[in-house]
A and B are shown apart, each in its own frame.
Chain A
Amino acid sequence: MSNKRRIIVSDEGAICVVRFVDKKIVDSASIEQLGEELNSLVLVDKKSVLLLNFEGVEFMSSAALNKMISLNSKLKAVQGRLKLCNLRAEIKEVFTITRLDRVFDIRKTEPEAIAAFKL
């Protein structure tokens, strides 16, 4: 697997679980790198079932949201699947306001999300 600096990746069976290194995802260079690393999971590492676990993420800007949207498009193109979990209430609220809660499948916990993949 290619080297990652902004994300920590682990495999739960066929599901690729992604955690974030940064508590606050705001720095523009870090966001660009995050976007590249997320995309490379799909394009280079050929992962198609991804779970983004936001545990520990305190804040993210809309520039970071855009990287999630881009990842979602990349996954759609390969008939992949994406879920999100462990969003703190304020970040979940951002998804709700921007209606991105309709674009992403957001689950409360990692076990819940993993179970939902297996349905």
Chain B
Amino acid sequence: MNSKVGEAHHESCYLLTEAPCKEASMFVPPQDAMSWCLQRAIPSDLDVGHEHIELLMTELERASWDGRDLFHVRMAVEEAVVNAIEHGNKRNSAKVVQLDFRVSPELCYIDIIDQGEGFDPSSLRDCTDEEFVDKPRGRGVMLIKELMSEAVYNEKGNRLTMIRKRNDPAFEIREEE
């Protein structure tokens, strides 16, 4: 098992140009309290992004995550990484996406920074509005906010920090009828 603090496995490569998110009021779990951490700058390449999502999923499973908890994190991180590469960096190969993933049996922390212009999440149309509900696009950000315990963009909108607690009671009410 990789879940004991003493056996924690931390990976990092490339130089992180920004410290963990401070502008959000979000609790940033210290690395030594987590069973696995990865901090890496990846190229704006969806295949590389997906490889890192799979790494995160593997480590979550190793930390006993399963079912809806695991699905929710996969959905949120999938949308976030794709948004950072496609909409943030516009697949520009000269730009990188910084990933900070931290996993413990109780908590998953994800911080994603792109080098794009940013955006105002509040400017997105409401995809559940009758007028737009059958139109493509605009669901990723909504899913991120709905499926994670907390999800905060920085002011510029090029950085998303999110936390999912395992067995978070906030999600029990949506169990299938």
Contacts and interface: CB of A to CB of B under 8 A. Distances in A.
Interface extent on B, as a size class? Answer: 20 to 34
B134 A97 contact: no
A73 B135 CA distance: 9
Contact of A62 (B46, B74, B143, B176): B143
A90 B68 contact: yes
Contacts of A72: 134
B26 interface: no
B50 A69 contact: no
Contacts of B75: 59, 61, 94
Contact of B71 (A62, A90, A98, A102): A90
Contact of A70 (B50, B67, B136, B142): B136
Given A61-B79, A98-B128, A98-B143, A69 B136 contact: yes
Interface string B130-172: 0001111101101100110000000000000000000000000
Nearest to B126: A99
A59 B133 contact: no
Contacts of B71: 59, 90
B134 A61 contact: no
B87 to A, nearest CB: 12
19 contacts: A26-B78, A27-B50, A59-B74, A61-B79, A61-B82, A65-B139, A66-B139, A69-B134, A69-B136, A93-B68, A94-B75, A97-B142, A97-B146, A97-B147, A98-B127, A98-B128, A98-B139, A99-B127, A103-B133
Interface of A: 26-28, 59, 61-63, 65-66, 69-70, 72-73, 89-90, 92-94, 96-100, 102-103
Interface of B: 46-47, 50, 67-68, 71-72, 74-75, 78-79, 82, 127-128, 133-137, 139-140, 142-143, 146-147, 174, 176
